[in-house]
Structure 1
Amino acid sequence: MGDGEGGIKAHKQNNIRQVLNLIREHETAAVAELAPKSRLSKTTVKKMIDLLVCLGLVQSAGKGLSTDEGGKKPELFRFNPAYGYVISIHVTPEAILAAASDLSWGLSQFRKTPVGLKRDLESILALLAGEIRRILGAKASGREKLLGVVVALPGLADSSRGISIYSPHYHDWGRNVPFLDLLRERVEELAAVPLFVDCVNRYQAFAERVKGVAVGVKNFMIIDAITVGLGAGIFLHGELMRGHQSLSGEIGHMTVNPVDGPRCNCGNHGCFEAMVSANRLRALADDARMNGEQSLLFQNGKMEDFDIARVCELSGQGDKLCRRLIDDVARWFAVGLGNIILTNDPELIVIQGQYVKAGECFLKHVREGLRRIGLPDVEKTVRIEFSALGEERGVIGGAAVVISDFFAKRLSFKEKE
């Protein structure tokens, strides 16, 4: 995979990498476009492209259009995303999501496997091993082009040590589990393959950075609110934040209502995630139903499925209970976001998870709440947007981290023989 310097000096390695990265940023590119951007001569750029083509990293993309003055049509080049691949896995509280990703984050062999009742560590590791072997077997190149395997975990994880610190959704795992070592022991095919692990929210932030609404944004954060939790992934000055103890992003357990907030899964009361959870809203709606309050949420005096999007829709239609529920959750969302804005001052906050389906009406309530709290006299220019990525975002982000590591740290170039 391009290992070894092969006689190419460091400064030339950097120049080749620069040209490659420029090609990766464009669908197609010509030498005449790349030369001024790289500050290299056309002759030098062409030689580097020839090397990259020979290595399989770049391929010809045909001819471009002539200039207004006429002349020879330029040859176009594009990055070859099939140069290698990554196996990316997301362990959710309910299922295992696994896929192969090419080097442009295109997924194949995607599969979602319910965890079921067997949630112990050994059972989960067996599921992961099975998914890894399934994907390896489906790839014609097998291990030859495999650049790494990555696992996104719920809860706290330390990427530098390859451990699961603690998962509130998998209590039986225990603490400080050497996750990557255990996985490597169970899949002999991974003996020499780089392995990666981290908290899924960090990978989901990476997904927004490469393929979502945060492309080109250096200071942003994602907030992922699922049915059973809430967490964040934070980028500051273009760098992913992890913190001293890998606690960065655990905003779901920031206390926002210590007086009468509900008990959280962590044991605390009034955590951010507990105050904005769908379970809490459902409980409030149930209380209203038991007290005889009327709402279109109830059919024949019963409430079957509780859906955030439905609550927001009925709120817009004038349903008083639904309006009160949306006002309540938006208020607590604003309190949590207000604290985050004053701490990190992001340019963009991307909301992922269950509240995406609530639509623009929910964002409107949150923005109104933000204007009233946390330095109300200071205009807050932070953008708050919904993610356009689906449940595969953790898989995409995990692959993106491995791909970034490969191009930044592991890829080197050898001269043509």
Structure 2
Amino acid sequence: MEEKWLVGVDLGGTTIKMAFISKDGDILHSWEIATDKREKGRHIPASIARSIEQQLLECKQTKNRLLGIGIGAPGPVNGEDGSLEVAVNLGWENFPLQEILKRETSLPVVVENDANVAALGEMWKGAGAGAKNLLCVTLGTGVGGGIIVNGEIVHGTNGAGGEIGHITSVPVGGAPCNCGKKGCLETIASATGIVRLALEELSNSINNSRLRDNKEITAKLVFDAAKEGDELAKRVIEQVVFHLGLALANLANGLNPEKIVIGGGVSKAGDTLLEPLKAAFTPFAFPRVAQGVEIVPATLGNQAGVIGAAWLVKQKLSKSMGV
């Protein structure tokens, strides 16, 4: 009897990553398509369904080979019906994604927030493997996150659990955040936040810095300059790791996780970020919490989403059907 496959889908504002994945979490076949945002994104579910059928043909398989579809979507997801109240990048409002995709594919569909899905991927096959209590933080254009307790994602009352990027880091006089608040961690520890801090330092300082030689400043440039001893860049990174370390320590004090997984584009700075982050984290962490936790870089990269989405549907089916 042929082993059944899971379908993992990572829905982004520019591309949709997809994969056929074994029940053990191995990627068997992966591909991506452009996100069709015409007419407020109403064509997205049909384009996903069509693409899955095309790839089945290429793999010389039928839909009978598939167990179900897990999908990570950008925005708060209603756990009851898999709908999204809003997904700004896609043009969605009160969009019944699970219902439509189920109708388009005739397969079981499970929908979850994309940051949560990435966290599940890292727990299953990545840096968090073996841990059932972990924090996953994604440092990219914004700051995303997922909190996993006893192997389950924390959703909270209305699906907004795990909004690590919107922990208030600067309670008075903080920079405005896209969420409508001010002083969020996202305004400091994201790539855009790092650039903002660097530009502030440059305008307030007369000191020489190699950053002044660049027309456009990026987070990578700031990390590279800090690594080479640039004092202004080092001050920026000190601010970033101070606020990130404080936020993660406060979360850890409440959750006592086994691992804190750091992913996203900013995490590519490696030890230039992780070593000072560990040093900033420890003074704010309850000693027993600090002893029990390991801060590690994410390992799955762009595959975290599709793997986590596949885990999601596997778990759902195992609970309902004993798969």
Indicate whether the TM-score tops 0.5. Answer: yes
- For the structure 1 residues 338 and 362, does the alpha-carbon distance in structure 2 shift closer, same or farther, using more than 3 Å as the test? same
Q: Secondary structure at the match of 1:144?
A: helix
Of structures 1 and 2, the one scoring higher in RCO (CA 8 A, sep 6+) is: 2
1:354 aligned to 262, 265, 268, which one?
265
> In the alignment, which residue of structure 2 is the partner of 1:385?
296
1:205-243 deviation digits (Å, cap 9, x = unpaired): 22122211222212112111221x222222212333222
1:158 aligned to 57, 78, 82, which one?
78
> In the alignment, which residue of structure 2 is the partner of 1:17?
none
> Any stretches of 5+ residues in structure 2 without a counterpart?
none
Structure 2 letter corresponding to 1:401: L
Structure 2 letter corresponding to 1:232: G
TM-score relative to the length of structure 2: 0.90
* Structure whose residues are more often helix by fraction: 2
Once the two structures are superposed, the pairs formed by residues 90-109 of structure 1 within 5 Å of their partners are: 90-109=10-29
> Any stretches of 5+ residues in structure 1 without a counterpart?
1-55, 57-81, 413-417
Report the Cα distance in structure 1 between the residues aligned to 2:285 and 2:129, rounded to whole angstroms: 28
Report the Cα distance in structure 1 between the residues aligned to 2:97 and 2:36, rounded to whole angstroms: 20
TM-score relative to the length of structure 1: 0.71
> In the alignment, which residue of structure 1 is the partner of 2:138?
224
Structure 1 letter corresponding to 2:255: N
Structure 1 letter corresponding to 2:131: V
Contact 1:226–1:354 (CA<8 Å) still a contact in 2?
A: yes
> In the alignment, which residue of structure 2 is the partner of 1:306?
218
1:252 aligned to 150, 155, 165, which one?
165
State the identity %: 27
> In the alignment, which residue of structure 2 is the partner of 1:120?
40
> In the alignment, which residue of structure 2 is the partner of 1:149?
69
Q: Secondary structure at the match of 1:252?
A: helix
- For the structure 1 residues 87 and 118, does the alpha-carbon distance in structure 2 shift closer, same or farther, using more than 3 Å as the test? same
> In the alignment, which residue of structure 1 is the partner of 2:51?
131
Say which is worse superposed, 252-261 or 349-358, in terms of deviation. Answer: 252-261
Contact 1:223–1:232 (CA<8 Å) still a contact in 2?
A: yes
Report the Cα distance in structure 2 between the residues aligned to 1:219 and 1:371, rounded to whole angstroms: 19
> In the alignment, which residue of structure 2 is the partner of 1:67?
none
> In the alignment, which residue of structure 1 is the partner of 2:199?
286
1:169-224 deviation digits (Å, cap 9, x = unpaired): 34x312x3211122334x2xx22x11110011222222122211222212112111
- For the structure 1 residues 119 and 213, does the alpha-carbon distance in structure 2 shift closer, same or farther, using more than 3 Å as the test? farther
2:235 matches 1:324: yes
Structure 2 letter corresponding to 1:341: A
- For the structure 1 residues 283 and 118, does the alpha-carbon distance in structure 2 shift closer, same or farther, using more than 3 Å as the test? farther
2:100 matches 1:182: yes
Task: Kindly state the Cα deviation for residue 93 of structure 1 after the two structures are TM-superposed.
Answer: 3.1
- For the structure 1 residues 293 and 325, does the alpha-carbon distance in structure 2 shift closer, same or farther, using more than 3 Å as the test? same
Q: Secondary structure at the match of 2:81?
A: coil
Report the Cα distance in structure 2 between the residues aligned to 1:216 and 1:345, rounded to whole angstroms: 16
Say which is worse superposed, 235-244 or 379-388, in terms of deviation. Answer: 235-244
- For the structure 1 residues 167 and 222, does the alpha-carbon distance in structure 2 shift closer, same or farther, using more than 3 Å as the test? same
Report the Cα distance in structure 1 between the residues aligned to 2:249 and 2:133, rounded to whole angstroms: 16
2:113 matches 1:202: no
Structure 2 letter corresponding to 1:163: S
Task: Kindly state the Cα deviation for residue 168 of structure 1 after the two structures are TM-superposed.
Answer: 4.4
Report the Cα distance in structure 2 between the residues aligned to 1:86 and 1:135, rounded to whole angstroms: 13
Report the Cα distance in structure 2 between the residues aligned to 1:129 and 1:252, rounded to whole angstroms: 32
Structure 1 letter corresponding to 2:50: G
Task: Kindly state the Cα deviation for residue 355 of structure 1 after the two structures are TM-superposed.
Answer: 2.6
1:276 aligned to 186, 189, 196, which one?
189
> In the alignment, which residue of structure 1 is the partner of 2:254?
343
> In the alignment, which residue of structure 2 is the partner of 1:87?
7
> In the alignment, which residue of structure 1 is the partner of 2:155?
242
- For the structure 1 residues 234 and 318, does the alpha-carbon distance in structure 2 shift closer, same or farther, using more than 3 Å as the test? same
- For the structure 1 residues 117 and 199, does the alpha-carbon distance in structure 2 shift closer, same or farther, using more than 3 Å as the test? closer
Task: Kindly state the Cα deviation for residue 275 of structure 1 after the two structures are TM-superposed.
Answer: 2.1
Contact 2:6–2:67 (CA<8 Å) still a contact in 1?
A: yes
Q: Secondary structure at the match of 2:211?
A: coil
- For the structure 1 residues 403 and 365, does the alpha-carbon distance in structure 2 shift closer, same or farther, using more than 3 Å as the test? same
Report the Cα distance in structure 2 between the residues aligned to 1:126 and 1:406, rounded to whole angstroms: 23
Once the two structures are superposed, the pairs formed by residues 30-69 of structure 1 within 5 Å of their partners are: 56=1
2:173 matches 1:173: no
Report the Cα distance in structure 2 between the residues aligned to 1:147 and 1:378, rounded to whole angstroms: 42
- For the structure 1 residues 95 and 373, does the alpha-carbon distance in structure 2 shift closer, same or farther, using more than 3 Å as the test? same
Q: Secondary structure at the match of 2:158?
A: coil
Q: Secondary structure at the match of 1:120?
A: helix
1:58-109 deviation digits (Å, cap 9, x = unpaired): xxxxxxxxxxxxxxxxxxxxxxxx6011222111233211121122222244
Report the Cα distance in structure 2 between the residues aligned to 1:373 and 1:303, rounded to whole angstroms: 37
Report the Cα distance in structure 1 between the residues aligned to 2:35 and 2:47, rounded to whole angstroms: 8
Task: Kindly state the Cα deviation for residue 119 of structure 1 after the two structures are TM-superposed.
Answer: 7.7
Task: Kindly state the Cα deviation for residue 258 of structure 1 after the two structures are TM-superposed.
Answer: 2.7
What is the aligned-residue RMSD (CA, Å)? 2.4
Task: Kindly state the Cα deviation for residue 289 of structure 1 after the two structures are TM-superposed.
Answer: 4.0
> In the alignment, which residue of structure 2 is the partner of 1:215?
129
Report the Cα distance in structure 2 between the residues aligned to 1:117 and 1:144, rounded to whole angstroms: 30
